[in-house]
Structure 1
Amino acid sequence: MKKESATQQSTQIRPPVVVVLGHVDHGKSSLLEAIREDFKITSKESGGITQHMGAYVVEYQGKSITFIDTPGHEAFSAMRERGATIADIAVLVVAADEGVKQQTKEAIEQAKKAGLPLIVALNKIDKPEANPERVKQELSQEEIFVESFGGKVPCIETSATTKKGISELLEMILLMADLEHKNIDLSKAGEGVVIESSMDSRRGPLATLLVQNGSVKAGDIIGTKTAIGKVRTLQDFQGETVQVGFPAMPVLVVGFEACPQVGEVFQVFESEEAARAEVVVSPLGRPAQVLVIPQGAKTLDIVLKVDMAGSLEVLASALLSLPQEHVFVRLVDTGVGVIGDKDVRLAQGTHARIVGFRTQVDPVAGDLAQREGIVVETFDVIYDLIQRVRVWLEQEIVQEFVTVDIGALQVLAVFLAEKNRKIIGGKVIDGEVRKRSQMKIFRNEAELGTGKIVNLQKDKKDTEVVRKGEECGILYEGSVKIQQGDIVKFSIQELQNKVL
């Protein structure tokens, strides 16, 4: 009996983990703020946009719910997808006044891929232009059928401003969680997922973990495939020190030897030796992201430093996705943390520019960069950074006029041969002839001279172009004495991009 009682005590139902998905500006962060008024999520982020995945715990009717707020901009698709893989339930936030957008469709697809039960939150329902029925119709076109449309997907009308529907949304989440019934075993070694990682100048590598089973305590040996460590301190999502991290609880861990990769599975090990045996790739030896660049191609070399590992993943992908027809972006090195003198010396040796995202420049490194003329720029908003790199790419390209061959003609007759004006008849043997194109006259493959078309006729009528196989008459300016049988080649001047 005692053994059964102990088993019951260690096995519990895990609180639900809810991922909040949706299009930018549809009110995800405001909705979370409304759920718990002391969440000041929006005010913490640049431009009012959530730029990092954050996990927040709320209490409702004596039960805990963990919310994962994922960024809504399209550049953060990878972070949104990762959020969908660690959650139990997805709340799809759709603005009732705007309806389904491209990122809404993307979020729906991610939730489907992850097999997550879905709740639709029709937000901003208080707005005069809100049209919930139209939005439901648009959702049905994406195969999301809400209950009022004969489907099984719950749909709650919400307003972060008036707090309408907040209680109903939380009740629906708890109801769904009861149906899912996720059991956990607190006696097992802790395990879960790395939500974020960063480098702190004082505390070293930091990792935000979402515990999924068992527990994590101070002193535990913890590891992923890329990093291990001993837990020195644990903090909850509000920054308060805690002794134990339980399932569905996001905790900030200090103690890793290096930054683990975002999205990795972590677990608690019995010993440091057991943890090290699981490490397969050291982040310290991780190579810079490589793009296949044609030999001899012009490159824009960049050293990229960011504050969080999740940002690194997003930014590297976004920069390498920029149009690179003429100049290629090459990430010489990427990393998490402060921009230091090592980064400046690397940039100096590779003629690279240093770009930082929500990170600082070490004063010594800043002085060195200034002395050596190394470009160092930092940004708080990802779109400003991407736009800056886009401008750099464009600055490497100029336009110039180039000669483009368009066709050739065989001279059949010479009708007028004045000093500087000639009229000839001929047949187009290749490509086409255009009015106002340049001419080069050849005899026995030797170039005799040039001319410029003044007028072009076909069937005794003025025309702009004559194509292969057709005959035409040409009035041109030129001093070369042309004769029957000569070959005339035609060309035009076109503006084309040139790499500086």
Structure 2
Amino acid sequence: MAKDNIRTPIVCVLGHVDHGKTSLLDKIRGSKVCASEAGSITQHIGATLIPIESIRKMSGLKKDADINIPGLLFIDTPGHRAFTTLRARGGALAEIAILVVDINEGFKQQTLEALQILRNCKTPFVIAATKVDKIPGWRVHPDEPFQKTYAKQNERVQGILETKIYELVGKLSDLGFNSERYDRVRDFARNIAIVPSSGITGEGIPDLLMVMIGLAQRYLTESLRITVDGPGQGTVLEVKEERGLGMTLDLILYDGTIKVGDEIAVAGASGCIETKIRSLLKPRPMKEILIEDRFERVKSVTAAAGIKLVAPNLDDVIAGSPLRVIKGDRQKIIDEIDAEMQTANIKLSNLGISIKADTIGALEALSKELESKEIEIMRADVGPVSRHDIIELETMKEPLHKVI
């Protein structure tokens, strides 16, 4: 890892509900998060580190292939809402994305929204055209690279697949993106690679990982150089109580190092919270941070990583907020965190309803939805509904404004 201090790129998986985001990640992880979740849709935000050795093994990369990226850190988010609201230094937390599209259903509303977000954030991405195993007459060859399994299909099936891919290419072209099947892409700077794959059978997954590593290697090497000895910076994914530990933060560390005993600043419901780290816990590798309870205690962690942090006074921390290790100018760090929290994009008006959510991300998403329906918002807060909120609403004259 010392080589050039290049950290793991953070990958986000976006796409329409039910187009197979989680099953794709499960296949890559070799785990079964999907099976244990309600309705197989990701309820929470987790992180999974997939080391480069595992990727080499899965994708058949040659041992001597010169790769300086240490692996891929997947954040498994509920749709693309989290992508826009998990911020790192004002940009999106993920540096590279996989846009999942069901090859049989094509683009849906959420796919288009996700594309718009990727375009606005200028995030490099790959398209995983999933569910190839659902093409009529498709013969399954589990976990094989796409070209091998494609060569074993009959001509009619190959024809159907080609047609579906060209429909995607056409649609992307209408939206102003040049794209092509990944094995025909000459210049990844100009064309978006489409990788036909299946999260259920694993076909095409090796190719997907290889294209991701190639993209990261080519476009992100500079931005992934980290100041390993610098103070840690991260984004809080979740605040939750753990048996025997008390309140904990699940956090993605994207720069620097964080150590037990460090003082940290993080955004709370009523301003910046300063506290001291009691312990740091890492999940075992290749496992999902949210379902894994066998943590290892570590003294320090270097970016990029998904970690759990234990410290006093975490009850009011807001999920989705920035976290910094306090080194140097304390006031400056606190001001930066306050400033970042003020930029949550919520338009408030003098009269309207009150909204509450458990994370900034959810609050922003909710306010966007209401805004699009022209519903005015008077108050927007993170946290549970309190007695105070109810009493305040009672004083409203207009019945429609008595809504939380």
TM category (shorter chain) comes to 0.5 to 0.7
Counterpart position of 1:165:
204
Post-superposition Cα deviations, 1:266-302, rounded to whole Å, max 9, x if no partner, equal 322248xx5455324779x99xx884245xxxx66x5
Query: Which string of whole-angstrom CA distances, capped at 9 and with x for unpartnered residues, describes residues 403-439 of structure 1?
Result: xxxxxxxxxxxxxxxxxxxxxxxxxxxxxxxxxxxxx
Report what 2:48 is aligned to.
Answer: 56
Give the corresponding residue for 1:91: 98
**Which aligned pairs between 1:186-225 and structure 2 lie closer than 5 A?**
186-191=228-233, 193-198=234-239, 200=241, 206-224=248-266
Shift of 1:28: 0.8
Partner of 2:279 in structure 1? Answer: 233
2:305 to 236, 243, 249: 249
Match of 1:135 among 155, 168, 172: 168
Give the SS at the match of 1:144: coil
Q: Which amino acid aligns with 1:194?
A: T
Q: Is 2:276–2:312's contact at 8 Å kept on the other side of the alignment?
A: yes
Match 1:347 to one of 390, 394, 403: 390
SS of aligned partner of 2:226? strand
AA partner of residue 381 (structure 2): T
Residues 434-483 of structure 1 deviation map (CA, whole Å, 9 limit, x = unaligned): xxxxxxxxxxxxxxxxxxxxxxxxxxxxxxxxxxxxxxxxxxxxxxxxxx
TM, length-normalised to structure 2 = 0.68
CA distances 1:299-329 after superposition (whole Å, capped 9, x unpaired): 66x573x5444334433544565554xxx66
Which of the residues 22, 31, 39 maps onto 1:38? 31
The offset of 1:184, in angstroms, is 2.3
* Structure ranking higher in strand proportion: 1
Change (3 A) 1:303 1:311: closer
For 2:237, what is the secondary structure of its paired residue? strand
Q: Provide structure 1 residue ranges, at least 5 long, that are not aligned to the other structure.
A: 1-7, 354-391, 397-500
Taking structure 1 as reference, are residues 110 and 349 closer, same or farther at Cα in structure 2, changes over 3 Å only?
closer
Equivalent residue in structure 2 for 1:108, among 115, 121, 124: 115
Contact 2:86 2:93 (C-alpha < 8 Å) held by counterparts: no
Write the deviation string for residues 156-213 of structure 1: whole angstroms up to 9, x where unpaired: 111011110111111222222222322223222222x314243549766543322222
Count of aligned residue pairs for this structure pair: 330
Contact 1:100-1:139 within 8 A present in 2 as well: no
Distance in 1 between residues matched to 2:21 and 2:86, nearest whole Å? 13
**Is this contact kept in 1: 2:248–2:309, CA < 8 A?**
yes
Q: Does 1:19 align with 2:12?
A: yes
What amino acid maps onto 1:175 in structure 2? G
Q: Choose 175-184 or 161-170, whichever is displaced more.
A: 175-184
The counterpart of 1:279, out of the listed 324, 329, 334, is 334
Match 2:129 to one of 122, 125, 128: 122
Measured in 2, the distance between the counterparts of 1:270 and 1:84 equals: 22
1:184 is matched with 226
Q: CA deviation at 1:346?
A: 4.2
Is the Cα–Cα contact under 8 Å of residues 93 and 121 in structure 1 kept in the other structure? Answer: yes
Distance 2:251 2:402 in 1: 42
Amino acid at match of 1:347: I
Q: Indicate how the Cα distance of structure 1 residues 201 and 345 shifts in structure 2: closer, same or farther if over 3 A, else same.
A: farther
Rate the CA distance shift 1:210–1:81 in 2: closer, same or farther, 3 A.
Answer: closer
Could you tell me how far 1:81 is from its partner in structure 2?
8.2
TM-score by length of 1: 0.56
Contact 1:199 1:307 in 2 (8 A): no
Q: Is it true that 1:268 corresponds to 2:352 in the alignment? A: no
Unaligned runs of 5+ in 2: 55-69, 137-160, 283-288
Q: Kindly tell me: are residues 141 and 319 of structure 1, through their superposed partners in 2, closer, same or farther at Cα, counting changes over 3 Å?
A: closer
Query: SS state of the match for residue 99, structure 1?
Result: coil
For 1:183 and 1:282, locate their aligned partners in 2 and report how far apart those are by CA, in whole Å: 27
Post-superposition Cα deviations, 1:21-48, rounded to whole Å, max 9, x if no partner, equal 112211111110111122404633x443
Give the Cα separation in 2 of the matches to 1:279 and 1:209.
18
- The RMSD of aligned alpha carbons is 3.9
CA–CA distance in structure 2, aligned partners of residues 255 and 276 of structure 1: 21
Question: What is the alpha-carbon distance in structure 1 between the residues aligned to residue 374 and residue 265 of structure 2?
Answer: 38
Q: Identify if the C-alpha distance between structure 1 residues 307 and 235 changes in structure 2 by more than 3 Å, giving closer, same or farther.
A: farther
After the TM superposition, which residues 413-492 of structure 1 pair with which residues of structure 2 at under 5 Å, given as runs? none
* Structure with greater helix percent: 2
Q: Looking at CA atoms only, which structure, 1 or 2, has the larger radius of gyration?
A: 1
Compared CA separation, residues 133 and 266, structure 1 to 2 (3 A): same
CA distance in 2, matches of 1:204, 1:310: 24
Letter in 2 for 1:207: L
| Cα distance change, pair 41–256 in 1 and its aligned pair in 2 (3 A) | farther
Residue 292, structure 1, aligned to residue 349, structure 2? yes
